[in-house]
Amino acid sequence: MLLIKREDGPVSRHLNRRLSMLITLKILYRTSLTPNQVTFIVFVITLSSLPAYLSGIYWLGGLLAQLGSMLDGCDGELARLKGMSSERGAFYDTVLDRYSDILVTMMVTYRLCIDFRTYAWIPGFLAAVGGIMTSYTATILKYRVGMDIKWPLLLSDGRDVRMLLLALGSFLAHLSPLYLVYTLSWIAFVTNLKVAYRLVKATEILG
């Protein structure tokens, strides 16, 4: 049974799935855990990064957030293996992913405002908004048009890419918090640029 989704981003396909499939096949599949329970467990793992960021331990926050991202595919893999895929499960996963994205970004931004400069809230806010809107517009396009709009791989803005960039920026933050500000700025730029591009293309397609 194919566990890799066609919609997987580059980081999910080449990195995250290597860990998630190993855990799903070797551990989770042998337990009585349901996919929805795994969704909530992964959500808690991701949120465990918040105290680390709040304490200014950027590298640990980045590590835990990335771990949550790498395990994010376990629920879907388990659902497909056990024949338990459901719209409710997909809904839970999507909603909790958005909460994770917002809370992690907000906590990173809050800590940067303390350790660096208060203006860090600007790229942090725009990164959070961009993360929400790029997901929302993708859903709307698939519903209205039946497909997404092509976007250069170099400017990939999927959740898998955003979380990895945030983790890398968090590791570099011990050298200077400015690296994490740059990371948030890049995420903000790419996600909002993609939303703007979709608006233009959608206008052409939908008339």
Half-sphere exposure of 113 (CA within 13 A, CB side): 15
| Residue 3 confidence (pLDDT) above 80 | no
E strands, the chain, where? none
In tens, the pLDDT along 101-159 reads 999 999 999 999 999 989 999 999 999 999 999 999 998 888 887 778 888 888 999 99
The answer to whether the pTM exceeds 0.75 is: yes
The structure tokens listed for 150 are 């092509």
Q: What is the pLDDT of residue 123?
A: 97
| Residue 2 confidence (pLDDT) above 80 | no
Of 40, 55, 75, 52, residue with least CA distance to 167: 52
Q: What angle (nearest 5°) sits at the alpha carbon of residue 164, between those of residues 129 and 187? A: 30
- Rounded (to 5) percent helix, strand, coil in the chain: 80, 0, 20
Higher pLDDT, 205 or 3: 205
> For residue 7, how far is the Cα from the chain centroid?
14
In tens, the pLDDT along 73-112 reads 999 999 999 999 999 999 999 999 999 999 999 999 999 9
